[in-house]
Structure 1
Amino acid sequence: MFFVKGAKTTRVTQEKRIIHKSLWGNELKDKRRTETALKAGEDRAILLGLGMVLSSVMMYFVICITMVRAYADSVLTDETTCTFLNSTLTKDINCSYSCGSDCWKISKYPCLQVYVSLNATGRIGLLSHNEEMLDVSTECFYVPKCQKDHTALRVLIQNISEHLKMHQQVTCYHDSSEHQGSILLNRLYGSTSVFHSLFWPSSMLSGGTLIILMVKLTRYLSILCEQIGKVPK
């Protein structure tokens, strides 16, 4: 009887050990799977953060060499009020439009000259729509896109002239040092447009940096918890 009970006890103990090892092995496998999945997720999060940072740097580069540079180089920055004096349709200016592959034809548009007076200094000068139009022509207020129907271009310029006559006083921009005699009605690259252009890459840079820092902090806290758990009580 003693040997039978001893054999049964040994068998039960062995079965318990086998079950314990099996459960422990499954727990280790689950733990390793979880750690592998977490590590893969953290790696993807870091890659996402790095991608956001690199994209924001590229956006900064493009914006700085275009918009910010044009904003910094502009001298027509002083805002004041201009009084509209008169507008005149002067000579027709030739322009070319595309009629197909390697095909160009000549059309024309009237040059609209708008004279205004600066209320701050009393100086009289020609008004330009924006920096882009000023680069194309220093005499004409607005340079339309060339097209075949020059009559439609004339009607467009006349409508602009009539619209300007409805506003006796408008906000304009000029050079207070008078090194540049032109006057602008609108600025393409003002402080507001530069701010809005830099806002999104700044947000992307901040978000990417925050993601990387959060992943690094999570890993550090995980390692710290493991080290605390291994300390004998």
Structure 2
Amino acid sequence: MYIKQLYYEGIEEGAFPYNLPFIKDINNLLFTKPITFITGENGVGKSTFLEAIAELLGLNLEGGSKNNHFSTRETHSDLTKSCRLIRYAYYAKDYYFYRAESFYNLTTDLDDLGVSSDLFDRSLHSFSRGQSIKALVQERFFGQGIYLFDEPETGLSLQSQLELMLMINDLVKADSQFIICTHSPIQLVFQEANILEMTDEGAKNISLEESQIIKQWEMVFNRKNHFFHQLFNS
């Protein structure tokens, strides 16, 4: 374990990102297990929260390690001006930020830097989206690291998500810590993981059974005929 908390020291109110609901609860959110999943509806601040951690670690905000410096557009918030990281006693040897929405840009940067040729013997753009993500994790993530994922399930089939979970599990055994924003119910089933749920009311740690993602998918599959009848006839 390397990161214990994103600690908020600010008093800003009103403007984005300080009006996001999780701000009032942020100092109660602790990373106590090697894997923490962050869930919630679109717009509640999951990516903003993760992005702040990435920036405080010195990582490229469109994805990558400390060696990636590309930027296509400045869109990140200034939350880090009011936050600091509280760490455990150990220091990581590897750092990486994967975010689905800018992975194409990261892939281009890795190809241009020659990293793809060194690690994969071919351009990452020559892989499918799902293949390239798995190749990146398998060949570039070295262990003893802090790894931030923003929606890693994007572009992955169920089989590929399960394969990714096995890779994550191996990296946890190699003394790594993961903080993962996700909409995938499959990812949440990971044993021995914290689940942090963000809503319009705030943020808190929850159990798998309390997760809105799990409840919603159960509703769709267990009552699909009634659900879709109500959806299209409301």
**TM-score band w.r.t. shorter chain:** under 0.3
Q: Which has the higher contact order (CA 8 A, sep 6+)?
A: 2
Q: Normalized against structure 1, the TM-score is what? A: 0.21
Greater Cα radius of gyration, structure 1 or 2: 1
Q: Normalized against structure 2, the TM-score is what? A: 0.21
